[in-house]
Amino acid sequence: MKNWLHALALTAALGFLSLHGWLGSYTRFIADDFCSAYLGQRLGLLRYIWFWYNQWGGRYTAIGADMLLAWLNPRQIGILPPLGLALWLGLLALLYRLRHPSADRQSVAGAAVFSLFALLLLTPNPAQSLYWFSAYRTHTLPLLVFSAYLLLALRLTQTAQFRPWHPLAGFAFALFNGGFSESFTLLQVAALASFWLWHYRQNHSPTRRQSLFFYVASLTAAGIAFLLMFTAPGNANRQESFRQLSGLGELLEISFSGYSAFLLSLLNSPAKIAALLGIWLFFGSLPAPKNAPHALLWLAWGFSLAFASFPPAAYGMADTLPERAHTIPLFFLLLALSQAAPRLAPPPHSRAAAGALILLAAALSLPALAQSQPVYASYAQRADSAEAQILQAKAQGAEQVQIPPLRNWAGTFDPTDNPNFFSTYCISKYYGIQVYGQPLPEE
């Protein structure tokens, strides 16, 4: 019974992830993606990073990732969401195989698939987190890279043979990954500091020395990334676009308010509740030494790190963390849950109950997700038609062209009849011809 339920749940969760990958294949440029692509082509990688670092903020890795828009055309970027999901799934499978060496293949596959399933199901705006490149590279890509870092860390700290490149690899990963977003940068510092502290106090195995070297190097790089991020000259220009905080009290008020809303959002539908209970029971069924105090420590770690993603947003924007960035606190909460649950004694028939709950969560979520396909497909069709129209006009020597409304699903502004409006300016620069859209509706 439990094996059948597990297999059905695994199939349903994989179907959910595959559907997200399919919908992500409709990804096209939206709004300022055109400016990113144009400037990337014009300036090249290093000058492009330096330009935005001085003009808008310290997200040096995210800025560098924009070069993908310069190297790929608007239709080709549709490969990035499904490719990212497949790569992430593989990394998680390898990670859980190392973390639970005595678990069978079905359990390892379930750990990887159910973790990613829960992350996308619990994310309040998965479309922006996954299908809109500007948000995807800022709030989702660092989690994929951090999964690779955890795999590397677990592999290197489990071997008793020290190599000089081990700490160098940790340093490079942390420095690279610390440049995606302010919220993740702070969490990375806190997470790596806690890993180092745990190995310093609790690791008495033959791998202790290389573990400490690895995490010291990683933590040093994370600290450097934090400084690079928060001392960028462009931060002052960016903050001028937002309201200024009145002080520390307001920062904490915004942070706690956003964090409370985030936690409540995890329980605002039967599908989310079923998914949370299901993965808790599933991970609780995995083989691991039972240790209730360690389980509580892991949960405290996860909830604390999840909260730490909110103050940077409050500081930078005088607002709470946007929904498209909720992937970051969710990742650390689910990571903590996956480590805490196996340390507690599971209830009877937990594997069968987990399969039933995850199957229920998938059944409740899949129909609405499938029904959203026309939204993304129709935008891709409109964007492709507009591009064909623009390229045809340019080939015929026209100086300008007017395109029909794009009506992108993200709700950002389309090109208008104002050549100085940012969306109009960006798309015109990218294609090398003056592009006009429809006038903005009068208020």
Q: In the structure, what pLDDT confidence band is assigned to residue 220 with cuts at 50, 70 and 90?
A: very high
Rounded Cα–Cα distance for residues 93 and 392 (Å): 46
Same domain, 330 and 392: no
Q: Is the pLDDT of residue 253 over 90?
A: yes
Going 261 to 267 to 270 to 273, the CA torsion angle's sign is positive
Average pLDDT score, the chain: 90
Final residue before a domain boundary, out of 371, 392, 411: 371
Q: Which contiguous run of DSSP H or E holds residue 76?
A: none
CA distances to 17, 118, 275, 283, 301 from 338, in Å: 19, 11, 13, 6, 12
d(CA 356, CA 423) in angstroms, rounded, equals: 47
Three-class DSSP category at 434:
strand
Phi, psi dihedrals of residue 441, rounded to the nearest 5°: -65, 140
Which residues does 178 contact at the CB level (< 8 Å), separation at least 6?
Answer: 61, 184, 185, 188, 189, 221, 222, 224, 225, 226, 228, 229
pLDDT value at 244 more than 90: no
Domain membership of residue 74 (yes or no) is no
Number of H helices, E strands in the chain: 22, 2
pLDDT computed for residue 443 by the predictor: 45
Tell me the whole-structure pTM to 2 decimals.
0.92
Same domain, 343 and 382: no
Please write the tens of the pLDDT for every residue from 387-406.
999 999 999 999 999 999 88
- Rounded Cα–Cα distance for residues 137 and 150 (Å): 19
What total number of domains does the chain contain?
2
Indicate if 180 and 327 belong to the same structural domain. Answer: yes
Whether 243 and 176 share a structural domain = yes
Query: Of 343, 371, 399, which one is at a domain's C-terminal end?
Result: 371
Among the candidates 371, 386, 408, a domain finishes at: 371
For residue 266, being part of any structural domain is answered with: yes
Helix (H/G/I), strand (E/B), else coil: 401: strand
**Contact indicator for 218, 255 with CB cutoff of 8 Å:** no
The residue range of the domain holding 324 is 2-23+81-371
Please write the tens of the pLDDT for every residue from 294-314. 999 999 999 999 999 999 888
Pair (389, 356) in one structural domain: no
Residues 193 and 277 in one domain: yes
Residue 65 lies in a domain: no
CA 427, CA 433: separation in Å to the nearest integer?
9
Q: Are residues 403 and 426 in the same domain?
A: yes
Q: What is the mean pLDDT of residues 279-302?
A: 91
If DSSP codes are grouped into helix, strand and coil, which group holds residue 272? helix
**Contact indicator for 132, 32 with CB cutoff of 8 Å:** no
* DSSP code per residue over 100-115: -TTS-HHHHHHHHHHH
Q: Is residue 34 part of a domain?
A: no
The dihedral over CA atoms of 284, 286, 292, 295, expressed in degrees to the nearest 10, equals: -80
- 394 belongs to a structural domain: yes
Portion of the chain with pLDDT greater than 70, in percent: 98
Asked whether the predicted pLDDT for residue 209 surpasses 60, the reply is yes
